Amino acid sequence: MEPVKLYDTTLRDGAQREGISFSVVDKLHIAQKLDELGIHYIEGGWPGSNPKDVEFFERARNLSLTNSALVAFGSTRHPEGKAETDANLLALADAGVKVVTIVGKSSVQQVTQVLEIALEENLGMIADSIRYLRSRGLTVFFDAEHFFDGYRADPEYSLRVVIVAAEAGADGVVLCDTNGGSIPEQIVTAVAAVKERSSVPLGIHCHNDSELAVANSLAAVSAGVTQVQGTINGYGERCGNANLCSIIPGLKLKMGIDCVSDEHLAKLTEVAHYVSEVANLVPDPFTPYVGLSAFSHKGGLHVSGIEKWVDAYQHIDPARVGSQQRVVVSELSGKRNIIYKAREMGLDIPVQGKEAQKLLEQVKQAESRGFQYEGAEASFELLVHRARPDYQPPFSLVDFMVVVEAKRRPSSRKGYEDTLSEAMVKVRVGKEVMHTAAEGNGPVNALDQALRKALLQFYPSLAQVELIDYKVRILEESVGTGSLVRVLIELSDGVEEWQTVGSSTNIIEASWLALADGLEYWLLKRKP
Amino acid sequence: MEPVKLYDTTLRDGAQREGISFSVVDKLHIAQKLDELGIHYIEGGWPGSNPKDVEFFERARNLSLTNSALVAFGSTRHPEGKAETDANLLALADAGVKVVTIVGKSSVQQVTQVLEIALEENLGMIADSIRYLRSRGLTVFFDAEHFFDGYRADPEYSLRVVIVAAEAGADGVVLCDTNGGSIPEQIVTAVAAVKERSSVPLGIHCHNDSELAVANSLAAVSAGVTQVQGTINGYGERCGNANLCSIIPGLKLKMGIDCVSDEHLAKLTEVAHYVSEVANLVPDPFTPYVGLSAFSHKGGLHVSGIEKWVDAYQHIDPARVGSQQRVVVSELSGKRNIIYKAREMGLDIPVQGKEAQKLLEQVKQAESRGFQYEGAEASFELLVHRARPDYQPPFSLVDFMVVVEAKRRPSSRKGYEDTLSEAMVKVRVGKEVMHTAAEGNGPVNALDQALRKALLQFYPSLAQVELIDYKVRILEESVGTGSLVRVLIELSDGVEEWQTVGSSTNIIEASWLALADGLEYWLLKRKP
């Protein structure tokens, strides 16, 4: 089958997801990363609709993209205006890109009930707009909005929209399942009907409202579409856009269709996590191909299966998408999982049957107190070390105290301007007991500062270690503030990252335990 | 097309998801709820594999299920044993259910490399086990594990497994895409091949590793399968099982296939949220049909569209699945959204153009300080009230202080047994300033206690209000403990629930602001 061109709209349609708000710099970084993934087209934004996007295209002129063409998005001309003087079209033509996409309605009801204009007028807007942008020397894609809904209600008009766009010179017409309501059979039928009437290159743009966006996109390719639009991690409004992270390996590994190189594909997981980080969203661990759990094994039976045959419970070699197999330590684990896990982590201590059993009991006990080692492997490794009778910790916690005080200024109605957080900690290192105090930006930060103050005298290299993520999960949610609180933190020394866990009914104590584990882990690793 | 029977495996396969651990009581509650949804078969667990599931089936005898049959799950007999004396099969026969499902391998490689037995022996195990269970008067379904992978590698053996199971008397054979690697075309081809060789009723069991589990299940139904297995919310190991919450409306609303009644379908959202609550997981807002965002609108253009035509941007009437349309208040909002939202909330204050503009500015300003009103509508409503010049708050915060102290007992290596949390708060009610102090189970609980102590004297009805959920989200994750912290809390008076938000670099202050909003909202609502 023909190769497929990938068209990413994370920066425009993806940003419509609730909770996402990209800065211009975020968008520039993501564009660079999409280029590294071998994406063919990157839709950067809608310069006609907001000043942030104008700035993006301005600054994007300095990007050096190897694989990708940047695309500016906009709509067809205003109903009562002319294309040549339409502000939105001019913004597109002046965006400094070679490729633009404009969207227009391709459903009778949308034109008459939402746009509230005549059907012929809509066709005129589409044709004029495409012709004008083509006359400015641009490659023009036309997004036929609501195409599939329109086709089902009144096929003839929707097909006419495509034909009009093609005749006006569109370089491609993208059929949109805007409301995400189509099923694959409907996609295939409609694409076939278009191909009977026009030879214009076709694209597909799906939304995931029926949990079928990936299937619909793949079905459209089978039916002859050669451009697929989607977003990284399937970000997008409502239930999201078609997820390129599943579509790309689906096309390449499942359907044998050329779209990105093997090297590009192996960057998929990295790019997916990068985008979620920039979007300030926790990566969904359960997402296909790129999720942390996508190739993880929890049940004892599965673990014994993969020991005999690595592919027994995985559908592809995870390395193809830049991921890896992973065994999860959890209360469902058998002794075998613990051994497998310790081996996987390259622990040099022997984990024989009896020791593993003891460890398993410790894991179970800790989990009943709210600890969980999924996602906190450094704490698990510490547990392995602590199970050894001869283990000497680099420091041990004695006690701590935290004070948070907020005074409202009499004149202010807007929160506290004099919030003070202080911590005092007592830590034992060898025979010495250190007693320190520090202020901080919040109670956990104050604890972090005080703990470091105590330890830096003995371990100056700790200065390199930085707290880079802090997550809180409330367990037993029905009990409100009296619930068990689990804190997961991530630390980095600039080279590697590691994760630890702490749990308590007291959020400060849980944070303190995770923090201490994080520093202890690093000292342990650096020692020899 | 023939009606489809729904087979839920949330309680067994769903529980394999990382982070889920159901108690026996949890499972009984969920079974009851699945019955209300009209699910035909509820797989309750594997009595032969763990004592918790034995207890579940014991106690499930007292459930009164109207629509559902409870199913016990197990595997075929042990390679070297006899069916009549196989502990696993006996546990199934004695589980007190009328329907059982047993799983066996249907792939050459799985039999020879993982089970490590002869291919004929595997067929014997399957036939013996089914015959025995049938002889005990049970309805028997056979799960053909790894069927699709096996069929692609060596079709003849996989087909033989199905035929052997059918000839042994299986009431249905369920074709499993165990590793979740198949695409719809492969499903359709393999189902067709089975149907050519056997007339046994077929089922489908998919996993979501390729983000195609829903599409594969629907494709299998199109190809003639009459039982669909899946889980609520698509819970399951790795990337999850096929999501019944998308399959049920897909079958009924998109394909016109009979499976549950209209009344049952309207319970879908409620059941989905119920199961996630029992599983102690935050419901995924972006999930199709049942997610909070599935029918929500953020962009100003979309909001103006749905004002003209309610279906402009939704693929089904959300009421069909027990959900509703929702407009989101966010920094992307236009003035129009604010007005729409205020109207939707039935606010009796007029939100005219100018007032809405002022409010929008307040929303934007608060959002830049980390507040977010998506999911905290009570705080949004307070904002609307506070925008009025004549608003008189029922109380106002003056200041607070929190102390957390932990002392490690010299003998203990296991955390702090003497953790103390205390809070002092100063609150103004009318002309009086109350200064109170309280201890609590953690710092936020202490604040909650102290605040109530101050307010209860004036507003005794506050005693009914309970904090039922507390969520923490760290913003700007790259800055570690110095980041902005957003706290979302949920309160209840036993009848209704409401949500508020607080944000600060200090987690204690953020909690305090959310807590105070939560109480203020309730006092405001109760007043007249």
Q: What are the tens digits of pLDDT across the range B407-432?
A: 765 544 555 567 889 999 999 999 99
Mark out the alpha helices in A168-260 (DSSP H runs). Answer: 184-197, 213-222, 244-249
Q: Do A404 and B506 touch (CB under 8 A)?
A: yes
Q: Taking CB atoms and an 8 Å limit, are A474 and B469 in contact across chains? A: yes
- Measured CA to CA, the distance from residue A178 to residue A191 in angstroms comes to 15
Q: B376 with B497: CB under 8 angstroms?
A: no
Assigned CATH for A5-278:
3.20.20.70
Of B214, B295, B469, nearest to A212 by CB-CB distance is B214
3-state secondary structure of A172: strand
- Whether A15 shows a pLDDT value over 80: the answer reads yes
**Which whole-number Å values give the CA distances from A525 to A339, A385, A519, B247, in the listed order?**
20, 12, 10, 48
Q: What is the mean pLDDT of residues A370-393?
A: 82
Q: Which residue has the tokens 């086709």?
A: A151
Nearest to A477 among B17, B280, B466 (CB): B280
> Which residues in chain B are closer than 8 Å to A316, comparing Cβ atoms?
181
Q: Which residue of A has its CA nearest to B439?
A: A482
3-state helix, strand, coil in chain A (%, to 5): 45, 20, 35
Facing B398 at nearest CB: one of A308, A408, A415: A408
Taking contacts as CB-CB distances below 8 angstroms, the residues of chain B near A294 are 209, 238-239
Residues of chain B neighbouring A404 (CB-CB closer than 8 A): 401-402, 443, 506, 508-509
Residues of chain B positioned with their CB less than 8 A from the CB of A307: none
* pLDDT value of residue B225: 98
> Which residue from A16, A243, A471 is facing B211, i.e. has the nearest CB?
A243
Tell me the β-bridge partners of A174.
A143, A203
d(CA B236, CA B225): 22
Question: Between chain A and chain B, how many beta carbons pairs sit less than 8 Å apart?
Answer: 355
- List the single best residue of B508, B511, B512 to mutate versus A (max A Cβ within 10 A): B508
Distance from CA of A526 to the nearest CA of B (A): 22
CB < 8 Å to B209, chain A: 288-289, 294, 315
pTM equals: 0.75
Mean pLDDT, rounded, for A477-494: 72
Mutate: best of A112, A507, A513, partner B, most B CBs <10 A: A507
Task: Name the residue in chain B with its Cα closest to that of A515.
Answer: B481
The gap from C-alpha A210 to its chain's centroid, in whole angstroms, comes to 20
Bridge partners of A435, per DSSP, are A426
> Percentages helix, strand, coil for chain B, rounded to the nearest 5?
45, 20, 35
Q: Which residues of chain B does A412 touch, with a Cβ-Cβ cutoff of 8 Å?
A: none
| Closest CB to B18 among A18, A114, A328 | A328
Tell me: pLDDT of B335 over 70: no
The answer to whether the CB of A9 falls within 8 A of the CB of A22 is no
Structure tokens at A364: 């179970």
Pairing assessment for the beta strands A41-45 and A139-145 based on DSSP bridges: unpaired
CB atoms within 10 A of CB B525: 13
Mean pLDDT score, B164-178: 98
Poorest-confidence range of A398-412, A503-517, B248-262, B487-501?
Answer: A398-412
| Residue A206 structure tokens | 């799906």
**Best A373, A484, A506, A515 residue to mutate vs chain B (most B CBs within 10 Å):** A506
- Measured between CA atoms, the residue of chain B closest to residue A396 is B413
pLDDT recorded at residue B331? 45
Q: What is the pLDDT of residue B492?
A: 87
Higher-pLDDT residue of B157 and A355 is: B157
Q: Please report the pLDDT score of residue B26 as a whole number.
A: 86
Asked if A237 and B299 come within 8 Å (Cβ–Cβ), the reply is yes
Query: How far apart are the CA of A347 and the nearest CA of chain B, in angstroms?
Result: 23
Query: Of B114, B179, B308, which is closest to A314 when you measure between CB atoms?
Result: B179
**CB neighbours (10 Å) of residue A11?**
28
Map residue A218 onto helix, strand or coil. Answer: helix
Taking CA–CA distances from A209, the nearest residue in chain B reads B288
What are the boundaries of each domain within chain B? 5-278, 316-368, 396-526
Structure tokens at B306: 């749905």
Residue B144: C-alpha distances to residues B14, B114, B156, B226 (Å): 18, 15, 14, 15
Q: Do B475 and A444 touch (CB under 8 A)?
A: no
Give the whole-angstrom CA distance, residue B512 versus residue B71: 48
The strand pairing partners of B33, in sequence order, are: none
Nearest to B98 by CA among B123, B65, B121: B65
C-alpha distance from B405 to closest chain A C-alpha (Å): 4
User: Using CA atoms in the order B449, B455, B457, B458, what is the torsion angle rounded to 10 degrees?
Assistant: -160
Of A313, A404, A483, the CB nearest to B508: A404
Greater pLDDT, A355 or A458: A458
Q: What is the mean pLDDT of residues A363-380?
A: 77
Q: Rounded to the nearest 5 degrees, what angle is found at the Cα of A376, between the Cα atoms of A374 and A379? A: 125
B408/A397 Cβ within 8 A: yes
pLDDT at residue A114, as a whole number: 93
Strand-pair category, A202-206 with A172-177: parallel
* pLDDT band at residue A229 under the 50/70/90 scheme: very high
ipTM: 0.75
Sheet with B497-504: list strands edge to edge.
B466-474, B485-492, B497-504
* DSSP H or E segment with residue B354: helix B353-368
Residue A411 — very low, low, confident or very high, per pLDDT cuts 50/70/90?
A: very low
Number of H helices, E strands in chain A: 18, 16
Contact A245, A268 (CB under 8 A): yes
Residues in chain B: 528
Tokens (6 digits) for B265: 């379908």
CA–CA dist B11, B21 (Å, integer)? 10
Give the closest residue to A234 by CA, choosing from A254, A262, A263, A205.
Answer: A205
Summarize pLDDT for B120-144 with one digit per residue, the tens.
Answer: 999 999 999 999 999 999 999 999 9
Contacts of B30 by beta carbon, 8 Å cutoff, 6+ apart: B10, B11, B22, B232, B274, B275, B278
C-alpha to C-alpha distances, B130 to B75, B77, B185, nearest whole angstrom:
10, 9, 30
Q: In the structure, what pLDDT confidence band is assigned to residue B358 with cuts at 50, 70 and 90?
A: confident
What are B88-122's pLDDT values in tens digits? 999 999 999 999 999 999 999 999 999 999 999 99
Say how far apart CA B386 and CA B304 lie, in whole Å: 27
The domain A396-526 having CATH identifier 3.40.640.10: the answer here is: no
Inter-chain residue contact A469 with B480, CB threshold 8 Å: yes
φ/ψ region of B136 (left if φ > 0, alpha if ψ in -120 to 50, else beta) reads alpha
State whether B481 and A442 contact (CB < 8 Å).
yes
pLDDT at position B261 over 90: yes
Residues of chain A neighbouring B268 (CB-CB closer than 8 A): none
Say yes or no for a CB contact (<8 Å) between A238 and B214. no
Hey, are the CB atoms on A218 and B399 less than 8 Å from each other?
Answer: no
Of the partner residues B110, B295, B470, the one whose CB lies closest to the CB of residue A474: B470
* Alpha carbon distance A199, B428 (integer Å): 73
Tokens describing residue B175: 């074709």
**Alpha carbon separation from A278 to A15, A26, A144, A281, B477 (Å, rounded):** 11, 6, 30, 8, 9
Question: How many other β-carbons are positioned within 10 Å of the β-carbon of residue B151?
Answer: 27
Q: Which residues of B touch A251 (CB under 8 A)?
A: none
Whole-angstrom Cα distance, residue A517 to residue A5? Answer: 47
**Are A179 and B402 in contact (CB < 8 Å)?**
no
Q: Give me B199's structure tokens.
A: 């007339």
Residue A528 pLDDT > 50: no
Nearest CA distance, A426 vs chain B (angstrom): 9
pLDDT tens column, B24-75: 888 999 999 999 999 999 999 999 887 789 999 999 999 999 999 999 999 9
Confidence of residue B253 (pLDDT cuts 50, 70, 90): very high
Tell me the sheet residues that pair with A172.
Answer: A141
Q: From the candidates B145, B315, B401, B475, which should be mutated to test the interface with A, based on the most A CB atoms within 10 A?
A: B315
DSSP readout, A90-154?
HHHHTSS-SEEEEEEE--HHIIIIII-S-HHHHHHHHHHHHHHHHHTT-EEEEEEETHHHHHHH-
Contact between chains at B443 and A506 (C-beta distance less than 8 A):
yes
Instruction: Give the least confident one: A372-376, B206-210, B241-245.
Output: A372-376
Query: How close does chain A come to B246, measured CA to CA in Å?
Result: 6
Considering A385-394, B278-287, B332-341, B422-431, the range whose residues carry the highest mean pLDDT is B422-431
Q: What is the pLDDT of residues A193-206, one digit of tens each?
A: 999 999 999 999 99
Using CA coordinates, name the residue in chain B closest to A328: B18
| Residue recorded with tokens 């036939």 | B127
User: Minimal Cα distance from A405: which residue of B?
Assistant: B401
Contact B19 A212 (CB under 8 A): no
- Of the partner residues B179, B239, B509, the one whose CB lies closest to the CB of residue A291: B239
Contact A18 B287 (CB under 8 A): no
Strand, coil or helix: A158: helix
Average confidence score pLDDT of chain B: 89
Per-residue pLDDT of B434-482, as tens digits, reads 999 999 888 988 999 999 999 999 999 999 998 887 777 776 544 455 5
Q: Counting beta carbons within 10 angstroms of the beta carbon of residue A228, is it exposed (0 to 12), middle (13 to 18) or buried (19 or more)?
A: buried
Residue partners of A351: CB distance under 8 A and separation at least 6 = A338, A339, A342, A343, A359, A384
CA distance B435 to B425: 6
What number is the average pLDDT over the span A431-443?
Answer: 92
pLDDT at residue B357 tops 90? no
Rounded to whole angstroms, the Cα distance separating A501 from A481 reads 19
Q: Write A520-524 long-range contacts (CB < 8 A, 24+).
A: A520/A382, A520/A393, A520/A394, A520/A395, A521/A378, A521/A379, A521/A381, A521/A382, A521/A491, A522/A462, A522/A465, A522/A491, A522/A493, A522/A498, A523/A394, A523/A395, A523/A459, A523/A462, A524/A382, A524/A385, A524/A394
**Phi, psi values for residue A492, rounded to 5°:** -145, 145
Average pLDDT over residues A6-14: 97
Task: Kindly state the average pLDDT of the residues A70-90.
Answer: 95
Whole-number Å distance between alpha carbons of B124 and B103: 13
All residues of chain A having their beta carbon less than 8 Å from the beta carbon of residue B443 are: 402, 404, 443, 506-508
Q: Mean per-residue pLDDT for B320-329? A: 84
**Cross-chain Cβ contact A214/B218 below 8 Å:** no
Task: Output DSSP code: residue A210.
Answer: T
E strand spans, B391-482: 396-407, 418-429, 432-440, 466-474
Q: Quick check: A485 and B442 CB within 8 A?
A: yes
| Ramachandran quadrant class, A308 (left: phi over 0; alpha: psi -120 to 50; beta: rest) | alpha
Is there a contact between B239 and A330 if contact means CB atoms under 8 Å apart? no
